[in-house]
Every structure is written in structure tokens, then in C-alpha cells.
Structure 1
């Protein structure tokens, strides 16, 4: 509830509506998620089942799907009580149906890619695990000990895919073999983790457990790499394209909306052309008479926008983020005090990329922005990355995710912390980038060129992702898309080095539908905003408050809820979603 200052209390002290029958089922589903995916305890900052992993075997996946089917049947007998329930019920139905549909399609038995599959997730959970005391380190030791079993179950699922003739593309397998081998190297992440315990005043017996766990984890990744290279790679499919049926399912999952794939491809081509023309115009402002490449080279050679060393990078990230929080919190957004803390950190990995992790449910662990700096990279261009800080921080993911966590007065724990839709989340973050340009934060031609560089890349990957996986006609008219053409196409539209281009394209090839969800999500966010403004007027602060108070929902639900007012029953909402 609001106090005299207008701010709500934090954590479990926040209260609001009396939980409904729909809320109870949503909370029960969260409990099911925590049972079948114990890693959610870490993500949500909840105590319990420290160090356990999901059962990644075929039987584990089947048990999880059975639980989703059971919950779905129970939902059919519960009616929404109010507008909050309408959204919760519709989203729970969507998520449960999608879970079962994906399971029945067998996506779990070919779940391997270069960025977001169990190969990475099993390790990445350590980044959020607390290590402030003996209990925290004990949880790390337990998880290390459990890792071989988790990877063994995962291997069993991939073997079932081999038997069913449903395997990932060989290109993904080859890349992931290298990733697994790096995790297995002596002196790499797991050994560094055990070494860190030695300098953290951890008891000798626990240090010994951590050392044994690190050795076991490295051995488990070595065994996984051998399986991938010797068994999965020879059986992997040659084609990078996943095909229309699996793509349509993936796209619907990432967007929370069904879109016309061919129309989206055509729109992507138009949007890319618009981004190129806008970027070319801004390049002239950076350096009269210059092409985009020449303007970029000019900026890269100038020390004015350069940071040297990761310490300088981290300090710049934090300063930029703090300033955005303070200024936007006074003018364009409601930013509760408890959300104003956003930590900017250098990630312990060296895979490249910048990402955000949300606060724990009680805000004891604040939202964090992480920069995974590749090995050997020591210089950074602020003009290129300023918009990324806004994307990951405020008004991007931190405002979006933090607001949902804070809004415990209306949102149950499932909606606050465990309901995530990429098109909603990443679409909002791109929407936030453009908003910052509209608000004058990117008026410098250099900074605007950096923002357009990112927007152009996101438009290009809409075209590339749909083109490759659906094997659509290429823009040059010279036959259908192939992976080889994709690498050349991406290199043309980003100002990044060859290793970055290679990683990015491999990401799209192995994770169909995810990359377009950013730009397509932005498109839908802007469509919803424009429709809302036509109906309610130009008060964007109010639009943002209402939209963010929903938490992360499917984009069809976002549109149906905000455009034309809130539905009064699930039937009305569904009619709006499907009209």
C-alpha cells in the first residue's frame, strides 16, 4: 500500500488486493515451476533447494508437461474475479498451452544452441548465486556436485532426439562443442570459483568440497563435449532452417502473439531500408560527405568517446545509469525509491554481450546490468554503447522488470517474477531506446548513430531470421536464404568485427524466432501506444504506468488490455485478442 510519501513498502510488506482463486492457481504454478526448475529459486532470490538442478532427462520433461496439463484442467473451472484476474487467467492459459505444445513437438530433445540452452544455463546460474557467507558457498558446492547428474539427464534427452531423428543443426553442435570444452579446461570458470572460496575465509572442509565439485563439473563438461562431438554431431541435421511449423511455434512463444510471418518479413525489409537511410543522414552530421562506414571509422579513431579498461567501463555504466534514473524519475516515469538502485557490473564470463538480471522479490538483491567483455578487449566506444545502457537499465529492462516486482499490490508472485515474454521485454527495451532519442538524450550525432546502429542490426535480423528458417527469397532475388548468405548479409549491416558477426548469426541460426522478437516487439509496443494515445490523449507517462503495471505479458494480451479499455471478462479479452 502507499504510505504518506506515495511510495509502497518493500518485499513481503507490500500488500493490496485479496488473492483470488486465479491468483492461488498462479502461485501454485509458480510452486510447480520451482519444483521442476529449482534454478528459479536463484533467479527470484528465494531460499530453498539450494544447489539443485532441473531434471533434464526425458522423464523430467514428461513430468513437467503432465503438471502443466493438470494445472490447465484446473483453470477451466475457475472464473476471473476482476480485471487483474482476466489478464492472469489469460496469460496462465497461454503459458500452459504453450508449454504442452512445445513438449509435444519435441523441442526439448533438440534443445542446443550457442547462447540459451542447457549447455549454457547449467553454468550461468552461478552468476546469481550468493557467495557472501558460508551458507552461500555451501549452496555453490552443492550445485557443483549436482552438475554431472544434470548434464547426464540432458545428454539422455539429446540421445532420444537422435533416436527420433529430431536433432539440432550440425553448425550449432560444432560451436557448442568448443564452448563445452572451454568449460572443461583447467583454470577456467570452475577452478576460478573454487579459488575464490579460498580467499573468502571459507572453512577448509567446504573448500575441499568446492574443489571436488569444480573437478567434477569440469569432467562433466568434458564428457558432454565428447558426446556432442562423437554422437550428436554425426547425427545432426545438415540444414540450418528449422522449418515453418517449428518456427511459427517458436515465434508465438517469444512474442506472445501470432503474426503473419511473410508480412513481418516484408515489413522487416522496409524497416531495414528506413534504418539505412536514417543512419546515412546522421553519418553526414558526424562527418560531412562521409558514408556510414567512414563516419564510424572517424568516431573509432577519436579518443573523445573512448574508454580504456574495464574499470573505466564499469564506472561509466554506473554513472550513466544513475543519471538516467535520477532525471527520468523526476520527469517522465514514476520510479519508486526501492527501484532506484541499479548495479552495473563486469560479468565473470568473456562471451561478449550485455544483459540484465532483475531484482529479487524483496529487492535485497538489486537489479544488475552485466557486461561480458571478450578476452583481449580493453577499449570501448561510449557513442556505440550509450543506448545499450538505456536498453538494459532505465527506462529499459530495469524499469520494466523492477516495476513488476514492486507492484506486489496487484501482481501475484508468478506474474511479478516468473512470467517473461521476450517480445514484450525486448520490445520494450527497443521502445525505450527510441524514447530516449525522442526525449533528447541522444541528440549528439555520434550517440544517435550508435542508437541507429543497434536498430539497424535488429531490423536486419528480422529479415535474416525469417529468411533463413523459412527459406524465403533473398532480397537480391538470387534464390532462397542460406546460412552462408546470412553471414555476408549481417556483416553488411553491422559495424562489428568478424567474431561478433559469426557469434550473432550462429545465435539466430540456433535460436529461431528469438532475435526478431526485439524489433517486432518494438513494432507492437509502438502500435499499442499510438492506439492508446488516439483514445486517451498524449499523456505517455500514464500510458507507461498502466502498461508497466501489467508486468511481462504476451503482446496480444498487452494490446487487448490497453486498447479499448480493460476487458471485463476473459471471454471479452479473448475476443479482443483474436478479433
Structure 2
């Protein structure tokens, strides 16, 4: 192991010790601690580790190309995270529906349940929820005392989410275990549920009255956040203008596709027709539909434009009953593949599920999207640093997943009625995210001269982003509380498409080789990605 790779390995070990909740969700294997310390002291410890690792990285020399790439990725990620910590963001971290509260719950859901020792670890983490929430509460109070407060809207939304968790979010784990730990599991789950309720009360009564009434974070904080999610210092004003142009381009294509579905039909009329005719009528039928298309994509893609490692053939599909959950998401396999990759599908109290607009999301979350790309990080662990195998950059990952939807279109996969309209609708949503996210947080004007508000952002996402009604409110809430992440999809896709377009101009270009090599590079910030993809040899043979 080279000195650079050794430093990456040591950082992962030390980070896992300081943040076992994130480590277990990420797929770190081995014996992990029970709880993450979210108090100011825990925050300082993680920030100090970043600073110490960067200082040590300055003393180590890269001798190989793999070393250089590993060092560049470690530096880029840690510098972006250091800026986030130094801006005080960890002391005002409140976001819903995706945020720290959800991360705690998901870390418990992902824990193994095979042996009695596994159940002991679940019991211990459940029992630690009150301590973790108390530490988080202390940090939020510390942040408020130093002028670092989250938005009032996010405080109330996380309180509502915590109240939802308090009503038995972990009870199914207790019900699934009939062994000697049953009583202790019940006691730990009850304590966790009580802690969620108390945290919700703290947010409503103590924190929200003093929280910021402004949703926007401003340009300085936004640049820090967007760097964290993109691995690139963008010009947000250029990206805002590009987002409007991209949305207009997609809407033109949407109109053409609607006319194909029903000659003379508007996009709205075609959508209404598909909502009536392209759906399944039960949770079981929805799960079976999802399972079929996940398997179909795996079988169809393998050996054509990419070779899929046999260890990635295992892919779980899970329905999510949490009513506050918004969009589908993906969690990668563990380092040793003992836990497979998994796609998660919120059902939001529905009993009827449209399918025409979800097929592209199957390809986005599964194959050729996140499962193929993030799974490749595990597959290539013998050539990547350990830090590279367990991290990702949102612009890299989400950009690839959107590229995967376009690739599916190139391959002619959207043959079911309305599914290509669904793919274009999905693309319109991602373009709408760019203009909403940047427009809200930089307080930019819209083309009609008005400013962004929570209400008109919902209307815009519904009418121009064409999102399903049950998803609109949690999606907008997500953008308002998670600045910089929503733009990573479209701007990441732009980076991947531009890189491929440049590669196609080189003699002997082979798309399968390009995919294979690109996935073998591991996660990279968008600036580094462009450099690496411009210098790889993808000629066949």
C-alpha cells in the first residue's frame, strides 16, 4: 500500500470511529461504534480530523497515476467539507425530509439482522438515539447562541418528521425479533420513540421561535454548498440562465412526444390520459412491477455497453412507508457485498401507482444508474483508495444517473406507452430544480420579474417540473433546506455529456470501453472528472 493509499485508509478508519451512523449507511464493514456524537465536541473532532488529514496529505508525494488521482479526490473532498464546517453549517444542520434525522433512522434500517449479535447492535443503536438527539440539540443551541440558525420552515418540518418517527417508526424491528433480546429491543425502541417526540417538542417550542425567517442562504453559503455537492466552483448566475434554457428545450421535446401519444394532445392531456391508463392498483403490484424492470435492465444491459460484475446482480427493491419521504433513493452495497445495493420507493399512503413516469427512475436508481456506478466503486476496490470506494460526489453520481436515463433512451428502452414522456418529464423536473434552487437561495428574479417564494416554487415544480402532486411539497422543502444539492443532477449530467461528446471526436472511440474506464475511475469532483475523462484511452482493442 502506497503512503497516499495508507493515508486514505487511515482517514476512513478514523472517520468511521467518529461517525459510525454515516459509516454504516455508507457500507463500511467491520465493528463500528454504536452512536455518532452530534454535540459541538463531536463536530469539532470530525473537523479536526479533516484538517489533520489535509496537513498530512501535504507531506506525501504521489508516485503513480492511481496515487495522484486518490490524492486529488481526498484533497478535493476534504477541502470542500472543511469549508462547510468552518462556515458553521454543522451547528445549524436542519433539513427535511432528507437530513440528519432520516440518516439516523436509515442507519438502523440498514443494519444486519442475521445473528443475535446483529440484534444486539440494533438494540444498542436504538438505545443510543436519545443520546444522539441530545447532542444534536446541544449543537443547535450552540449555533443559535453564535448567530448560526437554520430556517424556521426547516425547524418545523423536522419537528413534524420527528413526530412521525415517534409514532413507532422502529416497532417493526421489535416485531421481527422473537429471541431473548425482544424485551430489551422493545425498551430501546420505546426510548428512541420518546426521544423523537422530545426532539420535536424542542424544535417547536425552543428553537423555531428564534430560527431564521429567511429560507435563502445567500451567495456565499451557496457557493460553499454547491462546491460540496459538485466538486466544482460554478458560476451560479450562468447555471441559472442555462437552467431556464434547458427547461425550454425539454418542454419543446415534451410537446412533440405528447403529440405522438395522442395526435393534437397537449402535454397535460397526454399526462392525464396516461395517469388513467398506465398504473397498477396495489402495493404488491407496484413492488412486482419495480422488481421486473430492475431485473430486466440488469439482464439487458449486461455485456452490451458495459459488463456487470456478478456481485452486482443482487439488488434489493424496498417500499418506504414513511409518509414524509419524498423521492426514491439508493443505498450502495457494503464493502464486502454482504448487504446488497438497494433502491427505496416511497409510497406516500397511495394505493394506486402510475408507472409510465417511473420507468426512467428505475434506470436512474438501479441500472445503468446508481447501482451500476456506485457498485463499481466496490468492485474496483482493489485499484481505488478505500476513501474512493466509500465516498461519492453528488454531481458525479447524480449526473451519471441522469446520463443513464439518456442512455436508456438511446438504447430504445422506453417502448412501453408513455414511458418516454415520463423520461422527458423527469428531465424537466431536474432542469426546474436548477432554476428553483439557485433562484431561491440567491434571491434571483424570475423571467416575469417576481421573486421566488415557497408557494410559487411549488406551483412552478408542479406546472413546469411536472412532478406528481404528492411529491411537490416535500421536494420544495428539500431544496429550501438542502442548498446546492438539487442542481447536481442536471449540472452533473451536463459534465458527463460534454465529456462523452469530446471523447467521441477522438479516433477509435468505443462507447463500451469509455463506460468501463469511466466507471473504474471512482467518484470524482466534476472539475477532476473532466480532466480525467479527457485523458483516458477508450479505443477498442
What TM-score bracket applies, with the shorter chain setting the length? over 0.9
Query: What's the secondary structure of 1:301's corresponding residue?
Result: helix
Name 1:431's counterpart in structure 2: 403
Matched, 1:393 2:393: no
| Larger deviation, residues 518-527 vs 161-170 | 161-170
- TM superposition shift of 1:348: 5.1
> Distance between the aligned counterparts of 1:78 and 1:536, measured in 2?
37
Identify the match of residue 186 of structure 2 among 211, 216, 221.
211
Matched, 1:504 2:486: no
Q: Please give the per-residue CA displacement for 1:449-491, whole angstroms capped at 9, x wherever unaligned.
A: 00011100110110011001001111222x3323332122112
Q: How does 1:140-219 map to 2 (within 5 A)?
A: 140-185=122-167, 188-197=168-177, 201-203=178-180, 206-219=181-194
> Distance between the aligned counterparts of 1:551 and 1:216, measured in 2?
40
| Aligned residue pair count | 535
Query: What's the secondary structure of 2:505's corresponding residue?
Result: helix
* Contact 2:108–2:126 (Cα < 8 Å) also in 1: no
> Distance between the aligned counterparts of 1:486 and 1:172, measured in 2?
16
> Distance between the aligned counterparts of 2:17 and 2:338, measured in 1?
23
Q: How does 1:38-57 map to 2 (within 5 A)?
A: 38-39=20-21, 40-49=23-32, 52-57=34-39
Name 1:369's counterpart in structure 2: 343
TM-score scaled by structure 1?
Answer: 0.90
Identify the match of residue 217 of structure 2 among 230, 234, 242.
242
| Larger deviation, residues 32-41 vs 386-395 | 32-41
> Distance between the aligned counterparts of 1:124 and 1:535, measured in 2?
44
> Distance between the aligned counterparts of 2:470 and 2:362, measured in 1?
22
Query: What's the secondary structure of 1:180's corresponding residue?
Result: helix
Matched, 1:94 2:76: yes
> Distance between the aligned counterparts of 1:565 and 1:364, measured in 2?
32
* CA separation of 1:97 and 1:43: change in aligned 2, threshold 3 A: closer
Name 1:452's counterpart in structure 2: 424
* Contact 2:328–2:345 (Cα < 8 Å) also in 1: yes
| Larger deviation, residues 274-283 vs 116-125 | 116-125
Name 1:482's counterpart in structure 2: 453
Q: How does 1:11-30 map to 2 (within 5 A)?
A: 19-30=1-12
Name 2:329's counterpart in structure 1: 355
> Distance between the aligned counterparts of 2:521 and 2:166, measured in 1?
42
| Larger deviation, residues 481-490 vs 220-229 | 481-490
Please, what is the CA RMSD of the aligned residues? 1.5
Name 1:319's counterpart in structure 2: 292
Matched, 1:534 2:512: no
Query: What's the secondary structure of 1:535's corresponding residue?
Result: coil
Matched, 1:64 2:38: no
> Distance between the aligned counterparts of 1:273 and 1:403, measured in 2?
34
> Distance between the aligned counterparts of 2:30 and 2:68, measured in 1?
30
> Distance between the aligned counterparts of 2:524 and 2:316, measured in 1?
25
Name 1:225's counterpart in structure 2: 200
Name 1:85's counterpart in structure 2: 67
Return 5+ residue gaps in structure 2 as ranges: none
Query: What's the secondary structure of 1:514's corresponding residue?
Result: coil
- TM superposition shift of 1:117: 2.2
Query: What's the secondary structure of 1:343's corresponding residue?
Result: strand
Query: What's the secondary structure of 1:353's corresponding residue?
Result: coil
* Contact 1:353–1:373 (Cα < 8 Å) also in 2: no
* Contact 1:37–1:54 (Cα < 8 Å) also in 2: yes
Query: What's the secondary structure of 1:330's corresponding residue?
Result: coil
> Distance between the aligned counterparts of 1:276 and 1:191, measured in 2?
45
> Distance between the aligned counterparts of 1:394 and 1:435, measured in 2?
11
Name 1:516's counterpart in structure 2: 487
- TM superposition shift of 1:443: 4.1
Return 5+ residue gaps in structure 1 as ranges: 1-18, 567-579
Name 1:577's counterpart in structure 2: none
Name 2:514's counterpart in structure 1: 543
Name 2:269's counterpart in structure 1: 294
Query: What's the secondary structure of 1:331's corresponding residue?
Result: coil
Query: What's the secondary structure of 1:425's corresponding residue?
Result: helix
> Distance between the aligned counterparts of 2:106 and 2:425, measured in 1?
28
* Contact 1:45–1:365 (Cα < 8 Å) also in 2: no
Q: Please give the per-residue CA displacement for 1:85-132, whole angstroms capped at 9, x wherever unaligned.
A: 111101111122222211110000110011232222121211211112
- TM superposition shift of 1:493: 1.6
| Larger deviation, residues 129-138 vs 271-280 | 129-138
Name 1:468's counterpart in structure 2: 440
* Contact 2:24–2:111 (Cα < 8 Å) also in 1: no
* Contact 1:80–1:89 (Cα < 8 Å) also in 2: yes
Q: Please give the per-residue CA displacement for 1:283-318, whole angstroms capped at 9, x wherever unaligned.
A: 01111111111101111111xx32221222222222
* Contact 1:535–1:564 (Cα < 8 Å) also in 2: no
Name 1:274's counterpart in structure 2: 249
Identify the match of residue 105 of structure 1 among 87, 97, 100.
87
